[in-house]
Amino acid sequence: MANRELAVLFLCSGNSARSVMAECAMNRWGKGKFKAFSAGSHPTGIVHPMTIQLLNQLNYETSGLRSKSWDEFARPDSVPLDFVFTVCDKVAGEMCPVWPGQPITAHWGAADPAAFEGGHEEKRRFLFRVYRELENRIKIFASLRIEALDSFALQRQVREIGKIKLPEGRE
């Protein structure tokens, strides 16, 4: 596993906010070690505009981002996946396709910023909080010495990472 970039897929139902932010963060913090993708069970077809705005403010390249179906990653000729992380409770409860590569899976649930109700500034702060929670998990995951862990220990580690939340009031 350690001799190549490991493929990581982040799943959410709409693939418009959380999974897209996770894809970007993993490609930044896991550069050279991981290659991230995102998809949705029922993609909206667009990346949420506030997500694009936030990612641009954080100096991410956003021109190639798009909301896409998880079917793109379930075909026999798709990239073999090493990890699949669900980032929303809805998709975690759905019947997922069979993924090429027998990936290690975990649920890294985060609140849905696209469904958050409030004023523009409240929505922006909430979106940033969700981003920071996902980024924190990704930084921890990217720092793991994966080559030193057997598959059971690795599965346990990625599930524990999914339970990490930001302390209240920390943004």
Catalytic residues: 12, 88, 96
**Cα 149 from chain centroid?**
22
In angstroms, the CA 131 to CA 20 distance is: 10
Give phi and psi for 10, each to the nearest 5.
-105, 130
Which one-letter DSSP state was computed for residue 96?
A: P
User: Who contacts 44 (Cβ-Cβ below 8 Å, separation ≥6)?
Assistant: 14, 15, 16, 67
Cα 91 to Cα 14, 62, 63, 128, distances in angstroms: 9, 24, 26, 22
* Per-residue exposure over 18-37, b if at least 16 CB sit within 10 Å of its own CB, e if not: bbbbbbbbbbbbbeebbbbb
